[in-house]
Each structure stands twice: as structure tokens, then as C-alpha cells.
Amino acid sequence: MVGDFHNDSPQELDFELVRRVQRGESAAFDILVRKYQHRIVALIGRYISDWSECQDVAQDTFLRAYRAIGGFRGDAQFYTWLHRIAVNTAKNYLVAHNRRPPVDDVDVADAEQIGAGTRLRDTDTPEREAMRQELENTVMRAVDALPEELRAAITLREVDGLSYEEIAQKMECPIGTVRSRIFRAREAIDAELRPLLDIQSVTRERNRI
């Protein structure tokens, strides 16, 4: 599908994918999820420190986006629109769990420029871009290294957005087994990400001093 418009700019590609989703092509939304899932998880990670919670909130973000995408008219770039949904979803999650959201939001204007493919802004240093890329690569390597049953379970949950019940039916196993596989998959991914996230946290603290 992507090959049909490989010469389009990133934002034009997003708009075309959105139009396809609006026409009922759910596979086009899968492409948008794969394109932005790691960036959305990283964004949510600025609000929520627990990796498994970030994954759940990211999934909720994409489900909300999927349900609302019929109203997307292209007044803003797709990532900016998705960014707003992610921030609101993360804040709502914190409030629902009696935790106070941070006062300093990630600026939406920065998201617009990142979504447009602008690489080096004042707020997007080469170091930050390299860290984001490293996080994405680490997640992909961690997922690829999972045993097949764990990889299938986490993909059905995080990418396809299926419930535990639906995954159990699809994988023909008890729900308890599904929960165990997803927990183990997240644990393995978290083990790979934790050193990088620790470095990122230390770097942010240094920049605030």
C-alpha cells in the first residue's frame, strides 16, 4: 500500500492513509500505528513512568484516535492531532488514578514540526533525535527477539488493539495464558529499554539544572 504513494511527503502520506481509513480500510490505520506507536509511547512516558502503563495508555490513545478519525479534516497534521489525543489520554489516566498530571505539557507546535519532518529544531537536538531513534530500534529488536507466542500476543494487544478475550480466542488459549504472555513480553521489552530510559531521565535532569 505504501508503495502506491512512496513519493509523497510524510504529511501527505499521513493524509492519504487517514482518507483510506475513513473509507473503511482498517489496514491503513495499522500503518499509522506502526509509524507513530513508539513516538506516542515516548510522549506518554513524559507523563507516566511505568512502562506497562505507558503501553496501555498508548493503546487507549490509538483506539480513541481510530474512533474519532472520521472527524479528522486535515486542519492540523495527523501527528499533531494524535499528539493532543495522547496528552489528554495520559492526563485523564493520571486523574483517574488520583495522580496529578505535570504542569509542563510537551508543546504541540514542536509536535507539528516533528510530524512535518523537520529534524533539528531548538527543542529537538541531535542527541534527543538519536535517543528517540535508539529507543525505537531497541523496542523493535526486543519484539523481534521474543518467542513467537509472546510476540504474537503483544502484537495483537498493542498493534491490533484486541481485548484479552479476543486474543484468547485468536490464539486458542485461556485468558490467563494471554495475560501471562503479554506480561512476559512487556517485561522483556522493559528490560531492554530500562537502561536507555534511565540515561534519558538523567539527561533531562541535567538539562533542568
State how far the Cα of 158 lies from the Cα of 182, in Å rounded to an integer. Answer: 10
**What's residue 189's pLDDT?**
81
pLDDT along the chain (209 residues), means of 10: 49 86 87 85 84 87 93 86 92 85 53 38 53 72 87 79 85 91 85 69 51
- What the block records as the C-alpha cell of 119 is 529534524
pTM for the full predicted model: 0.52
DSSP 8-state secondary structure symbol assigned to residue 7: T
Domains of the chain with CATH codes: 1-120 (1.10.1740.10), 125-209 (1.10.10.10)
**What's residue 68's pLDDT?**
93
**What's residue 174's pLDDT?**
92
Burial of 44 (0-12, 13-18, 19+ CB in 10 A): buried
